[in-house]
Amino acid sequence: MRIKFSKHGPVKFVGHLDFMRYFQKSIRRAKLDISYSEGFSPHQIMSFATALGVGVETDGDYLDIECNSVTSCEDMKERLNAVMAEGVRVENVVILPEGTPNAMSSVAAAGYRLYLKDGSVFTDELIEASARVLNSDSIIIRKENKKAKKKGRAVEGVNDYIEDDVKDRIYKAELTSSYFECLVDASSAGNVRPMNLLELIYSEAGEEIDPLNVQIVRSDLYRYEGEELVPLDHI
Amino acid sequence: MNRKLALSDDILMQVDKPARYIGGEINSIYKDPDEVDIHFVMCFPDVYEIGMSHIGLQILYGMFNSFSDTRCERVFSPWMDLDKIMRERNIPLFTLESQTKVHDADFLGITIQYEMCYTNILQILDLSDIPLHAADRTWDDPIVIGGGPCTYNPEPIAEFFDIFYIGEGETRYRELLDLYKECRSEGTSRMQFLEAAAKIGGMYVPMLYETGYKDDGTIEYFKPLVEGIPDHIDKEIVTDISTAYYPDDPIVPFIKVTQDRVVVEIQRGCIRGCRFCQAGMLYRPVRERDVDGLKDLAVRLLDNTGQEEISLSSLSSSDYSKLEELVDFLIEECGGRTVNISLPSLRIDNFSVDAMSKVQDVKKTSVTFAPEAGSQRMRDVINKGITEEHILKGARMAFEAGWTRIKLYFMLGLPGETKEDIEEIAVLSDKIAREFFDAVPKEKRVNGPVQIVTSTSFFVPKPFTAFQWAPQDNKESFRDKAYTLRQAVIAQLNQKRIKYNWHETDVSVLEGILARGDRRLSPAIELAYKKGCLYDAWSDTYRDDLWMESFDECGIDTSFYTTRVRELDEIFPWDFLSCGVSKEYLKAEWLRSKEGIVTPNCADKCNGCGAGKYGVGICVKSR
């Protein structure tokens, strides 16, 4: 079974590991017939598509579970929603055909929507800057070279930062006065962080960004169906 | 419902474990303020993970919320990082459910489980803008009421509380809340309300009493300042524990808490009468819950929470008469649900070894014994009715069942202890190791050799025990004893199989000062808090230097409270309270301990301790 859920409000401060354990308990409360692993300390056979950072909300994240028996997708969705906490909702439940790769390995892209928490808008200067940034031939994200720094081999100005051209991994991106929306690579090798893009735009416009004032909302997770990107619950 | 959080996102993103402060957990209760008359805030004065592990809090939370005219919310101590921010930005302390000011509540109930939380109590009051001294409060401030075991000597913190509730919380709150409603609607003064409250059973209102001291510093008198209030307060006790309120839908925390499981309290009280144990005396007499009710409760608890582990809680679970039946039921029920069972506080015998091997992985867990003393002589002094034969036999059973890890708990500094007694701890640990090699042939040692972890804590004499007259050992002596034991362990044949851990000495001394303290300690506690002492129960944050400085600046000789020998006829700060067990009985036990005479347990014989006056539990059962 693949379960699509949303997470909004105060519960966004529950980190991924805690959230997994919360879901395990919810499944028990809902009395779903989930399968357990063998051995002396059995655990539920469950895997999340990807982790959600603390403070990040989602309209659509996913987890897969293996069940011994199922009733109907509607029934399972209802039973889960009857025991959900404030701010968490099960949006969809689908049965996965035999042999479907698990959620984690399927994730190819993610959609995001970012907005300013204090209700302010993105300025015209920012919107103009975004057009320049997003339309240029290359979009460079500077990342700290953690590996070199860890080994004590980081040389300032030489290899302390890695430059990553993410142009090809941004499939859609637009800044309006209310939102910054984008669809980007979310695979483990090529993951693009939307905050990095927004920081680039602010930097181009010469404005200061307050990351703590930006709310990140994941709008959905996508996999490849042939050449096309489809939501993870599109079976 | 869209709750607005008290803390802004930028603060929550900066602090450790922000989920501590958001509320909204499964089974947390949010009532519309307009639909209730009383707003009660329940507080455990430590961080969320500790407070949410306390079953008492869950019981009272559920009980208050079951009253249709009351809404009960929770508050815990903000961790050090948030405490700093709240002071810098003037953010008032808030409740978890509605995220509104604690200051606006009608009652602030604080459960006081150990002495090391006293500075945290002041933190809660301070951050809530409630005057620290009860005498300075007005109707603008909540009624601050304390409960729990430390209320049996509340005197060091008496200045900070409006009321102490002595005894079990299930009995008198309804009466208190009704009185409160009456007084508020009639416009009586806060002091008049407190005077009326002092007449309710189990309620101690410190402001209405006065203590006088003799020249030698001991207590001369303790007397009420107004007419009509009792000069002696007896504890409250639940008479029919099987029907008393117990929540079947406790709150399920989002984050990992210390006790991350549902807890079933199977009985209250204990028959054993170990002379160092305060809880055993305070909760007398033992009262068992009906086993069928417990089975039903266990099922509902698991259904309503979805928790993965269930635990049976009591002071000495092996003494619960229907334990076998209950455990067999649980093993079957939990097996079907893939739920773990935790069985602490068990004597190690045939039944428990069998049960534990069914519910625990013998390869990964350990078996715990608490002999408390190394020699039989000392065990008789403390009335811990367990012999070396019992211990070795139990250990052998555990080894034969497949366990290789044994945990042993002892105390150092018990009254009358000699060097030989201490060395016996090492000898006993070694004997247990030898038992392993004897019981388990080489080819069966598949889980490696035996590993014994011997831990000692430092004895703190407590009020309402036979040892309340005993002098506490001093810091240097504690250290010497720990060293002696360490040397003794190294000298054992199987010393490589024994690991010795010892508890902090400094904090044990502070515990000793506060446990048998009086009202003259309040200024020192307040000063220590103002100097920055907080989270004293945590070794990382405990500041012994600031505490000792505070006692010094207040002109307090701490040895008066710790190492001084008490006279038999001395009046103690807690003598005006009663837990059922008479002072005469405790005195007799103290004298018997000096002769090493053992007192039988309640199941074997009634020794007339005084708790029989309640007419409940084991006191009224035929033997």
Q: Which residues contact B476 (CB under 8 A, 6 or more apart)?
A: none
Top residue of A14, A27, A34, A35 to mutate, by most chain B CBs within 10 Å, is A14
Nearest CB to A55 within list B13, B252, B304: B13
Q: Domain of B345?
A: 261-360+580-623
Q: What CATH number belongs to A2-106?
A: 3.30.70.580
- Are A212 and B23 an interchain contact pair (Cβ–Cβ within 8 Å)? no
B507-520 average pLDDT score: 97
- DSSP assigned state of B268: E
- Same domain, yes or no, for B62 and B165? yes
CA dist A8 and B305 (Å) reads: 22
- Tens digits of per-residue pLDDT, A148-178? 888 888 888 778 888 899 999 999 999 999 9
| Burial tier of A190 (Cβ tally within 10 Å: 0-12, 13-18, 19+) | middle
Same domain, B221 and B97: yes
Q: CB-CB: which of B26, B304, B361 is closest to A41?
A: B361
- A13, A52, A65, A213: best to mutate for the B interface, most B CBs within 10 A: A13
Within 8 A of B305 by CB-CB distance, chain A residues are: 25, 29
What's the CA angle centered on B45, arms B43 and B48, to 5 degrees? 80
Which of B3, B7, B9 best tests the A interface by mutation, with the highest count of A CBs <10 A? Answer: B9
Residue ranges of chain A that CATH labels 3.30.70.580: 2-106
Classify residue B152: in a domain, yes or no. yes
Nearest Cα residue in chain A from B300 = A29
Whether B82 and B173 map to the same domain: the answer is yes
Q: Which residues of B271-296 are buried (b: 16+ CB within 10 A; e: fewer)?
A: bbbbbbbbbbbbbbbbbbbebeebbe
pLDDT at A147: 82
Beta-ladder partners of B502: B456
Collect all residues with Cβ–Cβ distance below 8 Å to B389 and sequence separation of at least 6. none
- B561 in any annotated domain: no
Length of chain A: 235
Q: Do A28 and B308 touch (CB under 8 A)?
A: yes
Residues A200 and A194: beta-carbon distance below 8 Å: no
**Contacts B341 to A, Cβ<8 Å:** none
Per residue in B219-276, pLDDT tens? Answer: 999 999 999 999 999 999 999 999 999 999 999 999 999 999 999 999 999 999 999 9
Cβ distance of B13 and A54 shorter than 8 Å: yes
In a domain, B186, yes or no: yes
Same-domain pairing of B48 and B145: yes
**CA–CA separation, B153 vs B419, rounded Å?**
32
Measuring CA to CA, which residue among B43, B16, B207 is closest to residue B123? B43
Give the strand pairing for B163-165 and B143-147.
parallel
β-partners of residue A111 are: A183, A220
Q: Average pLDDT of chain B?
A: 96
**Cβ-defined contact of A13 to B338 (cutoff 8 Å):** no
Predicted model pTM? 0.96
Which residue of B18, B306, B307 is in closest CB contact with A13? B18
Tokens of B249: 């839908």
Q: What is the CATH number of the domain that holds B333?
A: 3.30.750.210
CA B219-B224-B229 angle, 5° bins: 140
Nearest to A29 among B9, B306, B361 (CB): B306
**What residue type is A227 in one-letter code?**
E
Which helix or strand (DSSP H or E) is residue B122 part of? helix B118-127
pLDDT bracket for residue B622 (50, 70, 90): confident
Q: Which residue of B has its CA nearest to A56?
A: B13
CA-nearest of B521, B523, B407, B506 to B460 is B506
Which of A24, A36, A212 is opposite residue B10, by nearest beta carbon?
A212
Residue B65: pLDDT above 80? yes
Residue B194 in this model has a pLDDT that exceeds 60: yes
Distance CA B581, CA B231 (A): 18
Q: Which of A40, A85, A87 sits opposite B361 (nearest CB)?
A: A40
In a domain, B426, yes or no: no
Q: Is the residue at B511 inside a domain?
A: no
Question: Which sign, positive or negative, has the C-alpha torsion B142, B147, B150, B154?
Answer: positive
In this structure, is residue B292 part of a structural domain? yes
Same domain assignment for residues B201 and B265? no
A149 touching B (Cβ < 8 Å)? no
**What does the alpha-carbon distance between residue B149 and residue B166 come to, in Å, rounded to a whole number?**
8
**Cα B427 from Cα B410, distance rounded (Å):** 13
ipTM over 0.95: no
Q: Label residue B357 by pLDDT band (50, 70, 90).
A: confident
Of B1, B9, B255, the CB nearest to A18: B255
Domain boundary among B234, B251, B271: B234
Q: Which residue do the tokens 């959900």 mark?
A: A84
- CA of B303, closest CA in chain A: separation in Å? 6
- Helix A16-29 and helix B291-305, axial crossing angle in degrees, nearest 10: 130
Task: Choose among B5, B306, B338: nearest Cβ to A10.
Answer: B5
Q: From the CA of B212, how many Å to the nearest CA of chain A?
A: 52
Closest residue, chain A, to B309 (C-alpha):
A25
Q: Take residue B120 and report the two structure tokens written for it.
A: 């945290």
Using CB atoms, pick whichever of A18, A29, A212 lies closest to residue B254: A18
Check residue A158 and give its pLDDT.
78
Q: What is the pLDDT of residues B361-393, one digit of tens each?
A: 888 889 999 999 999 999 999 999 889 999 999
The answer to whether B25 contacts A85, with C-beta atoms less than 8 Å apart, is yes
Nearest-by-CA chain A residue for B359: A40
Question: What is the DSSP code (8-state) at residue A171?
Answer: E
Distance (Å, whole) CA B507 – CA A73: 57
User: Is B2 inside any structural domain?
Assistant: no
- 8 Å CB contact between A181 and A105: no
Phi-psi region of A31 (alpha: psi -120 to 50; beta: other; left: phi over 0): left
Which 59-118 residues of chain A touch chain B by CB within 8 A?
83, 85-87, 117
B303 contacts in A (CB within 8 Å)?
Answer: 29, 31
Q: Which two tokens stand for residue B597?
A: 């005479």
Query: What is the per-residue pLDDT across B421-458, written as a single tens digit (0 to 9) for each?
Result: 999 999 999 999 999 999 999 988 888 889 999 999 99
Q: With contacts defined as CB-CB under 8 Å, which chain A residues touch B22?
A: 10-11, 13-14
Q: Do A86 and B1 touch (CB under 8 A)?
A: yes
- Mean pLDDT throughout B169-189? 97
Inside any domain, residue B621? yes
Q: Alpha-carbon distance B9 to B270, whole Å?
A: 48
A22: chain B residues, CB-CB within 8 Å: 254
Q: Answer whether A65's CB lies under 8 Å from A3's CB.
A: yes
Window from B333-342, B460-469, B487-496, B518-527 with minimum mean pLDDT:
B333-342
CA distance B609 to B171: 23
Shared domain for B306 and B226, answered yes or no, is no
Rounded distance, CA A26 to CA B308, Å? Answer: 11
pLDDT at B360: 85
CB-based burial, B82-100: b 16+ in 10 Å, e otherwise: bbeebeeeebebbbbbbbb
Asked if B156 and B522 touch (Cβ cutoff 8 Å), the reply is yes
Q: Show Cβ contacts of residue B473 under 8 Å, excluding neighbours closer than 6 positions.
A: B412, B413, B458, B459, B481, B563
Size of interface A-B (CB pairs under 8 A): 80
B66 and B191, same domain (yes or no): yes
Are A36 and B361 in contact (CB < 8 Å)? no
Chain B, nearest residue to A35 by Cα: B338
Q: Do residues B158 and B178 make contact, with C-beta atoms less than 8 angstroms apart? A: no
Contact A14 B10 (CB under 8 A): no
Q: Do B308 and A24 touch (CB under 8 A)?
A: yes
Q: If you search the block for the tokens 């070396």, which residue do you land on?
A: B388
Partners of residue A41 in chain B, C-beta under 8 Å:
340, 361, 364
Give the residue ranges of chain A where pLDDT is below 50.
none
- Judge: A18–B1 Cβ closer than 8 Å, yes or no: no
Separate counts of helices (H) and strands (E) for chain B = 19, 19
The residue type found at B557 is D
Same domain, B41 and B164: yes
Based on the domain organization, do B208 and B330 belong to the same domain? Answer: no
Number of domains in chain B: 2
User: What distance in Å separates the CA atoms of residue B351 and residue B354, rounded to the nearest whole number?
Assistant: 5
User: What per-residue confidence (pLDDT) applies to B1?
Assistant: 54
Please check whether residues B208 and B333 belong to one and the same domain. no
Contact assessment for residue B288 and residue B267, using Cβ atoms and an 8 Å cutoff:
yes
Short-list B332, B334, B347, CA closest to B262:
B334
- The first and second tokens of residue B333, run together, are 């029920």
SS3 B507: helix
- Could you tell me if B224 and B273 lie in one domain? no
- Both tokens of B52, joined, read 């949410």
Contact status of A33 with chain B (Cβ, < 8 Å): no
Q: Do A28 and B5 touch (CB under 8 A)?
A: no
Whole-angstrom distance, CA of residue B384 vs CA of residue B375: 11
Is the CB of A25 less than 8 angstroms away from the CB of B10?
no
Residues of chain B that touch chain A, judged by Cβ-Cβ distance less than 8 Å: 1-3, 5, 9-10, 12-13, 18-19, 22-26, 252, 254-256, 302-308, 337-338, 340, 361, 363-364
